[in-house]
Structure 1
Amino acid sequence: MQDTILAIIEGVPWTVALTAITFLLGAILGLPLCAMRLSKFYVIRAVATWIVVICRSIPPIVWLFFVFFGIGNDIISMSPFVAAALGLGIVTAANMSEVYRGALTAIHPGQFEAARVLNLNRAQQFRDVVFPQLIRIALPTAATYLIGLLKDSAVASTIGVSELAFQAYHVSQQTFQGLSVYGAAALLYIALSLPIAWLSRWADLRLRSRVSR
Structure 2
Amino acid sequence: MKISIAKALFNSHSYLEYRKIVSDLLLDQKSTGAVQSEELTHYSVLNDTRMKRLDKTIAVPEEITTRLIGLKGEYIWLVISEGWCGDAAQLLPVFNKMVLASGDKIEMRVVLRDENDELMKLFLTNKSKSIPKLIVIHKETSGALAHWGPRPKGASDLIIDYKKQHGVVDEEAKTALQLWYLHDKGMTTQLELIDMMIDIDKDID
**TM-score normalised by L of structure 2:** 0.28
Which has the higher Rg, Structure 1 or Structure 2? Answer: 1
- Which structure: greater strand fraction? 2
Report 1 or 2 for greater relative contact order, CA contacts < 8 Å, sequence distance ≥ 6. Answer: 1
- Which structure: greater helix fraction? 1
